[in-house]
Amino acid sequence: MFATPSGLLGIPILKRLIPSILRRYAALFKHRYSVESRLGVLMLLDQKNLIDKNLLVRGAWEPEQISTLTRLARERCAETQATCAFLDIGAHWGLYSILMDKTGLFDRILAFEPEPTNFAQLQGNLFVNRATGAIEAHQLAISDHDGEVVIEAGPDFNRGRTLVSDKIEAGQKGIPCRRLDELIKLDNACVVAKIDVEGHEAAVLRGMTELLQKNHCLLQIESFGETAETLETLLGDGYRRLLRIGDDHYFSNF
């Protein structure tokens, strides 16, 4: 199935009309799950999920964020000429990981996604792109301690809204969580990270202080409200805000 040509999305009368027609067509004639070619890669999509639906009918998701992170990563990796690693923290089904793998910039790519359905889709996307050897996928949450957390899966129409909580109540099943500093040992490397953890970003940053201090880091952090205002404090000395796109904040220490 083709997506709406990007040029037509700039025409007001067609901006809503064509995607609406394509959504109805997909709902009537396509299986809920399909493999489509988008952004130069294959994608296993679930048309009920918000991200997938946008990619299916509009051909894009977070285009400004992805192009900005890719541009900054190219500049930083070329500048350091060091080992380059990409960390996809809150990977969902791996959109950023797969696109970053396509750039050829990174020696290692690690994707972390705790929610079982999202992780299954992530594995499917690695399979169809022959990226199972290039991208290290981990079904666990990243936090400020090694142990367990509880997740609340997002609804079918927006599975990107998975919430993480440290409070495990009686009868709840915990899932593994790890500190990045215990999982990854890098020194003087170029580390590019996308962090999208629906309010758990402070815990993620507290669990990667060694990584942040010992490496050249470029970060894209989705954060809302009060937490967004404390990001620079959490990151510590040497980090500066580069820019902001919507709720995504970009920081670097070099």
Tell me the three-class secondary structure of 86-142, residue by residue.
EEEECCCCCHHHHHHHHHCCCCEEEEECCCHHHHHHHHHHHHHCCCCCCEEEECCEE
What mean pLDDT is predicted for residues 120-130? 99
pLDDT at 14: 61
Give the whole-angstrom CA distance, residue 205 versus residue 144: 7
Angle between helix 116-128 and helix 95-103 axes, rounded to 10 deg: 30
pLDDT at 196: 98
Dump pLDDT digits (tens) for 31-56: 899 999 999 999 999 999 999 999 99
Q: At which of 57, 81, 99 does a domain end?
A: 57
What's the mean pLDDT when you consider all of the chain? 92
Q: Are residues 53 and 68 in the same domain?
A: no
Q: Are residues 221 and 187 in the same domain?
A: yes
Residue 171 belongs to what domain range? 63-252
- Evaluate whether 215 touches 192 at the Cβ level (below 8 Å): no
Residue 1 within a domain: no
Q: Are residues 147 and 71 in the same domain?
A: yes
Question: How many domains would you assign to the chain?
Answer: 2
Residue 108 within a domain: yes
- Evaluate whether 32 touches 48 at the Cβ level (below 8 Å): yes
Backbone dihedral angles phi then psi of residue 93, each to the nearest 5 degrees? -105, 15
- What does pTM read for this prediction? 0.90
pLDDT at 171: 74
Dump pLDDT digits (tens) for 141-151: 999 999 999 99
Q: Are residues 53 and 71 in the same domain?
A: no
Residue 163 within a domain: yes
Dump pLDDT digits (tens) for 177-228: 999 999 999 999 999 999 999 999 999 999 999 999 999 999 999 998 878 8
